[in-house]
């Protein structure tokens, strides 16, 4: 079993990328509470470890060149965030066939038009499906493919 903070990282990054893909190419504000859930700062104004881990995931995606943003809004959001070219290309790219034949992807044997099959084979589709119906392990598997698969 993976460390819980790594599973949360994969889920947070999946939600972040799916939100930005849905808004692409518009710039949007990404609020930590929309990704990780509500947080109540303590008496000193410090956020929970969970909140800060999600905020760290946002910053990590930017440091790795997957998203861009104009500024942070305290430790609560990124202002005017957008997918980078590299992230948009990766999310729009076909996923490996071994991921397409396992849940939560579409059932095999569906007779669909080529354009629909192509859309259903992308990384972003797999991310959305995993977020809707997948387990933590399935989300982690899909996100590992997104982060570590060589597209060259």
| DSSP for 121-143, written as a single string | TBHHHHHHHHHHH--HHHHHHHH
Average pLDDT over residues 35-55: 92
Strands (E), 3-131: 28-31, 67-68, 71-73, 77-83
What is the phi-psi region of residue 150: left when phi exceeds 0, alpha when psi lies from -120 to 50, beta otherwise?
A: beta
Predicted confidence (pLDDT) per residue in 9-35, tens digit: 999 999 999 999 999 999 999 999 999
Q: Is pLDDT at 64 greater than 80 in this prediction?
A: yes
Q: Which fold has domain 4-87?
A: Arc Repressor Mutant, subunit A (1.10.10)
* pTM (2 d.p.): 0.83
Q: Is pLDDT at 142 greater than 70 in this prediction?
A: yes
Q: Is pLDDT at 73 greater than 80 in this prediction?
A: yes
The residue with tokens 């989300």 is 139
pLDDT at residue number 2: 60
Q: Which of 54-63, 113-122, 134-143 has the highest mean pLDDT?
A: 54-63
114 pLDDT tier (thresholds 50, 70, 90): low
Q: Where are the domains of the chain?
A: 4-87, 89-148
């Amino acid at each position: 079993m993976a460390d819980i903070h790594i599973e949360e990282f994969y889920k947070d990054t999946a939600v972040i990328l799916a939100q930005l893909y849905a808004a692409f190419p518009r710039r949007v504000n990404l609020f930590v509470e929309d990704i990780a859930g509500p947080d109540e700062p303590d008496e000193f104004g410090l956020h929970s470890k969970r909140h800060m881990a999600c905020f760290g995931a946002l910053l990590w995606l930017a440091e790795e060149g997957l998203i861009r943003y104009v500024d942070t809004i305290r430790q609560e959001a990124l202002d005017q965030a957008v997918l980078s070219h590299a992230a948009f290309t990766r999310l729009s790219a076909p996923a490996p066939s071994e991921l397409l034949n396992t849940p939560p992807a579409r059932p095999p044997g569906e007779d669909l038009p080529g354009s629909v099959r192509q859309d259903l084979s992308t990384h972003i589709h797999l991310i959305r499906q995993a977020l809707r119906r997948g387990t933590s392990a399935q989300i982690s598997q899909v996100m590992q493919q997104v982060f570590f698969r060589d597209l060259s």
